[in-house]
Chain A
Amino acid sequence: MRLDILNNGYGAGTKLLFAVIRLFSRHPVPDAAKLVFYRPDFYGDRAKEFTHEAMRGPSDWSVGDRELMAAYVSKVNDTAFCIAAHTATASQAYQDGAKVEAVLTDLESAPIEEPLRATLRMLGKLTAEGKVSAEDMRDVLAAGVSAQQVADALAVCAAFNTTDRLADAFGFEVLSPEGFEAGAKYLLKRGYH
C-alpha cells in the first residue's frame, strides 16, 4: 500500500493475527483487512460496524443483492480490488456467477428482477454524478421497491463509496482469483465485523 504504516505499522498482537490468517487461509492478508486493523479506533472499528450493518443487518434485500450492489457501485467507481472482491462474494451468495457478470456487463439486459435493476440504476447515477432527484427515487419506488429498501441500498452505496476511495487512494493490491474466493467465503461466513 502507498503508506508504509499500512504495510508495517502494526503491533505484535496484530502481526500475530495476520500470521494466523495467512496460515489458515493460505493466502496473503487482503489490504482491505489490513486497513481496518491500522489504528482501528480511528477508522476500522466504526467502519466495520457500519459496513456490517449495511451488508448483513436486517433488510428486505438478500445478502447476495447487497453484495451485488457493492460490486456494481465499485464497477461505476472502477475500483479493481472491490469489483473483484464483491463479484466473488455476490457470485457465491447467489450461487450464480453468470448473473453477477451480466449485471456488471450490461445492467439493462441482465436477467434480474425490475426492483433490483431500478435500484442499481439509481445507485449508479448517484455514484457517478453525485446526485439523484426525487423523480429518480419515484421511478425506483414505482418499480416496486419499498422506501426502506431504498434507504438500505443507500447505506450499501455509502459504505462502498468510502471503501472504493480508500482502495484506490492507498493502492490495495489485487489478489489472485483464489485469494478473492477465499475472502468471499470469509465474508459470507463472518460478515464485516
Chain B
Amino acid sequence: MPADDKKRAAQRDLVDRVLNGEGTASVRQRTQAFGNEGLAPPLDALVGKVAMRPAQITEADFAAAKAAGFSEDQLFELVVCAAVGQSTRLYEAGLAALSEATGDGRPGNAA
C-alpha cells in the first residue's frame, strides 16, 4: 500500500468516527457541523467560526451555545466535527487538484 493511502486511510478513520460513532450530539448535528451547513443559531455562529475564522472565537460563542441547551460534551464533539470537516475539504481539494495535474487520478502512481 502506498504511503499516501495509509495517511488518507487514517484521516478517513477519524472522519468516520466523529461522524458515525457514538456521541452525545446526534449524528445529524455532527454531520451539519462537519459540513458547516444547516445549523440553527446560535450554534451556526460557533461552528461557522471554527470552520472559517477560528481566531475570532470567544467565550461568548460558547456561552451562547450553552445557553441554548448544548452540553459541554456536545460542544466538544461539534467543534471537533467542524474542525475536521473544514480540514477534510482542504485535503480533498488539494488531492483533486493534484489528481487533475497528474492526469491519472492516482497521485501515488506518478511518484
Contact = CB atoms under 8 A, between A and B. Distances in A.
A53 B8 CA distance: 9
A165 B11 contact: no
Given A42-B17, A42-B23, A165-B50, A133 B87 contact: no
Contacts of A38: 76
B57 to A, nearest CB: 5
A5 B82 CA distance: 19
Nearest to B4: A151
Contact of A50 (B3, B10, B89, B94): B10
Interface residues of B, number: 52
Contact of B76 (A6, A79, A127): A6
B98 A147 contact: yes
A171 B7 CA distance: 27
Given A134-B100, A154-B95, A162-B84, A53 B108 contact: no
A164 interface: yes
A169 interface: yes
Interface residues of A, number: 57
Contact of A168 (B55, B87, B108, B109): B55
Contact of B54 (A46, A77, A122, A150): A77
Contact of B7 (A6, A126, A151): A151
Contacts of A161: 83, 86-87, 90
A166 B51 CA distance: 10
8 contacts: A46-B10, A58-B6, A131-B93, A132-B93, A137-B98, A151-B8, A151-B107, A158-B87
Interface of A: 2-6, 9, 38-39, 41-43, 46-47, 49-50, 53-54, 57-59, 77-79, 122, 126-127, 130-138, 141, 146-152, 154-155, 157-159, 161-162, 164-166, 168-171
